[in-house]
């Protein structure tokens, strides 16, 4: 299965995206996905491309400086009279953007499965 077909299978929420749009995002994702994914390469490309689409959705609704995009993880949430607290990061450290979307989290999980361990004697 190629990356486009894999994307279509894994990211049905983006069914309205044209093949050209999806293929463009897959091309943008390629530098971020290495051959270490082996037989999972197309799946990793699809997850990363879907993550990029999802992040664009967050930016279009919350703005490029919105809390959903730039803040730390939610560490406390109250529902009545909505109240949220976010983790603070020290200077120079920023939250991992892959944790912002389901697809980013799946990409990270797949990445952990494809670790290449180095052994020394």
pLDDT given at position 57 = 86
Q: Where are the alpha helices (DSSP H) in the chain?
A: 3-10, 19-29, 41-62, 67-70, 102-113
pLDDT digit string, tens, across residues 72-92: 555 667 778 777 666 655 545
Number of domains composing the chain: 1
Pick from 82, 30, 74: which is nearest to 52 by CA? 30
| pLDDT (0 to 100) of residue 71 | 56
- Greater model confidence, 45 or 57: 45
> What pLDDT shows up at residue 80?
80
Q: What is the pLDDT of residue 113?
A: 86
- Answer whether residue 38 is part of any domain: yes
Give φ, ψ of 30 to 5 degrees. Answer: -55, -45
In a domain, 27, yes or no: yes
The pLDDT score that the predictor gives to residue 105 is 93
pLDDT, tens digit, for every residue of 48-73?
999 999 999 877 776 655 655 555 55
In-domain check, residue 7: yes
pTM (global) more than 0.85: no
DSSP state of 13: G
Asked whether residue 119 is domain-assigned, the answer is: no
33, part of any domain? yes
Indicate whether 120 belongs to any domain: no
Q: Is residue 118 part of a domain?
A: no
Instruction: Tell me the C-alpha distance between 42 and 81, whole Å.
Output: 43
| Assigned domain for 121 exists | no
The residue range of the domain holding 28 is: 3-113
What integer pLDDT is reported at residue 58 of this predicted model? 79
């Amino acid at each position: 299965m190629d990356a486009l077909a894999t994307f279509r299978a894994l990211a049905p929420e983006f069914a309205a995206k044209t093949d050209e749009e999806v293929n463009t995002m897959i091309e943008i994702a390629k530098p971020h996905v290495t051959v270490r994914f082996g037989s999972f390469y197309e799946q990793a490309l699809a997850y990363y491309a879907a993550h990029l689409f999802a992040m664009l959705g967050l930016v279009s609704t919350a703005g490029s400086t919105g809390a959903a995009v730039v803040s730390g993880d939610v560490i406390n949430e109250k529902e009545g009279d909505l109240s949220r607290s976010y983790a603070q990061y020290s200077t120079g450290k920023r939250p991992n953007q892959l944790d912002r979307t389901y697809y980013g989290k799946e990409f990270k999980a797949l990445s952990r499965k494809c670790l290449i361990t180095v052994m020394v004697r």
